[in-house]
Amino acid sequence: MDPSKHRPSSAFNSPFFTTNSGAPVWNNNSSLTIGSRGPILLEDYHLVEKIANFDREKIPERVVHARGASAKGFFEVTHDISNLTCADFLRAPGVQTPVIVRFSTVIHERGSPETMRDPRGFAVKFYTREGNFDLVGNNFPVFFIRDGMQFPEMVHALKPNPKSHIQEDWRILDFFSHHPESLHMFTFLFDDVGVPQDYRHMDGSGVNTYTLINKAGKANYVKFHWRPTCGVKCLLEEEAIKVGGANHSHATQDLYDSIAAGNYPEWKLFIQVIDPDHEHSFDFDPLDVTKTWPEDILPLLPVGRLVLNKNIDNFFNENEQLAFSPALIVPGVYYSDDKMLQSRIFSYPDTQRYRLGPNYLQLPANAPKCAHHNNHHDGFMNFMHRDEEVNYFPSRYDSVRHAETHPIPPAIFNGKRERVIIDKENNFKQPGERYRSWAPDRQDRFVRRWVKALSDPRVTHEIRSIWVSYWSEADRSLGQKIASHLNLKPSI
C-alpha cells in the first residue's frame, strides 16, 4: 500500500474496534479505573480520544441539548445544612445567590419541536461568592448508561440515522439491547412523564452523585432534586401532537410569557445523603447513575428554593453562549467516583472550548461574578483587559497568593488498573418496582409505547426477544403483556 495514496474509507473498516491511530481496542465498554469502581485514570487514552472526537462532531450548535431556553433568578437557602457542607452559598437560611437556568431537549436539533419524547436538560449556574457552581442534570433522576465510555455510542444510536437523518427505533433498541441497565431510564422515558407539558411543570435532578464536605472535613455523598411548586404535568400522545402542531416552541414561549406576566416559576431543592461508610450496605451501587436512592430509606431533605423572575436579555448571549459543566464546583462541594460524572468533568468543558473557544468562561453569561485571578492568557477571542507585567506565579513583584485551603474527600485508593463493569449491577429490580407502582391505565400506556417501538419492521426477532426477556426480569406480567402483543414467548 502506498501511504500517500491511501484515503480513509468505511469500505476498509477493520473487523474490530481501533483507536484513530489504528491500535486495536479490546474493551470499548468500560473506562480504565483504579479497581472496579474507583476514579478514572487520565492515562485512559482511548476514553479521552473517544470523547474528544465526540465533542467536536457538530458545529455550531451543541451536539446534545441544542434546543433550549434560559431564564434568570435566584436561589435562596431555606434550611440549615451547614453540618453537611462548608459551601458559602449554603451557609445559612436566607442567603440568596443569583442564578441562570437553561432547560433543553437532548437529542434533536436547535429548531426541533419541544414536544418530542426525550429527556429534558435542567442546568443551574449558581454565581456564588466563591466562584460558579454548575448543577447540570435532567428531569429524570437516572440515566441510560453508567460509564462515559459508552456515551458517544449511545448518542449516535439515539440520533437520526446518518444515512436517512431519521430517528429510528430499531437503532435505539439494537444498541440498548446490549445495556440492560437502561431499563430504569426507559421506565421514565416511555412513561407519561416522557413528554413534559412545559419546562415549568417538570422535576429536575442532578442525576450524578456528588460529595458535600463540612468544615471538619467530613464527607457525605449527596444527590440533588428539584421539585416544581406548581406540580408535574405531562402531555399524552394526542395532546403532544396538538400542542406541537400549533407551536413548536411552546415550552420556550410558556417560560418567557409566565415570567413576563409575573407568574414566576419556582422549584424546591431537596437532597438525599449517604455516609460513605455505609455505601456498601445497599443492594445497588449508590454511585451508579442508573439507580435511584430509595426515599423510604434516604428521605428528601429540604435545602432551598429556586425562583426564576427575569427573562434573559438576549437569546444568543444568554442561551446559545451559555455553557455549563459539572466540573465547576465550589469549596464544600466535590465530585464522587461516579463513572459518568468522572467522564463529564472532562467532556463538558472540552466541548465548550471547541464550540465557543478556549476563553468561553470570559463570556458574560459564563464568567464568575466574584473577583478572580489567574495566568490563563491570550488564545482565540480573549477580551480580558490586562495591563500587568507579571503573568507567572509565584513572583516577588506580585502579591497574589494561594487561597486558603478547604477540605476535599480524603479517600485512599487501592486497586489494579482494569476495565470492568461495577460489581452490583442489579439492573431489573428498580424498573420493576417503578412499573408496579403505577395505576393500570398508566401501565397500559407504557406497554403500548413499547409494543409500538418493538414493532418497527427492522427490529429483529432476536432483539424483540431480548427486550421481552429484560422486561420479564423486571416484572413477569409486564414481559408477558409485551410478548402477547408481539406474539412472542417470554424466555423466563
**Can you say which residues are annotated as belonging to the binding site for heme?**
348
Please confirm, yes or no, whether 263 is among the known catalytic residues: no
Three cell numbers written together for 348: 463538558
Rounded to 10 deg, the angle between the 250-260 and 237-246 helix axes is 70
Three cell numbers written together for 362: 470570559
> Would you state the torsion angle of the CA atoms of residues 276, 277, 282, 283, taken in this order, to the nearest 10 degrees?
90
Helix H, strand E, coil C: the string for 181-236 is HHHHHHHHHCCHHHCECCCCCCCEECCCCEEEECCCCCEEEEEEEEEECCCCCECC
Residue numbers belonging to the annotated binding site: 348
Please answer whether residues 60 and 355 qualify as being in contact, where contact means their C-beta atoms are separated by less than 8 angstroms.
yes
Alpha-carbon torsion (383, 384, 387, 388), positive or negative = negative
From the candidates 132, 138, 359, 366, which is the catalytic residue? 138
From the candidates 46, 65, 108, 184, which is the catalytic residue? 65
Please confirm, yes or no, whether 314 is among the known catalytic residues: no
CA angle centred on 298, ends 292 and 304, rounded to 5°: 95
Please identify every residue annotated as catalytic.
65, 138
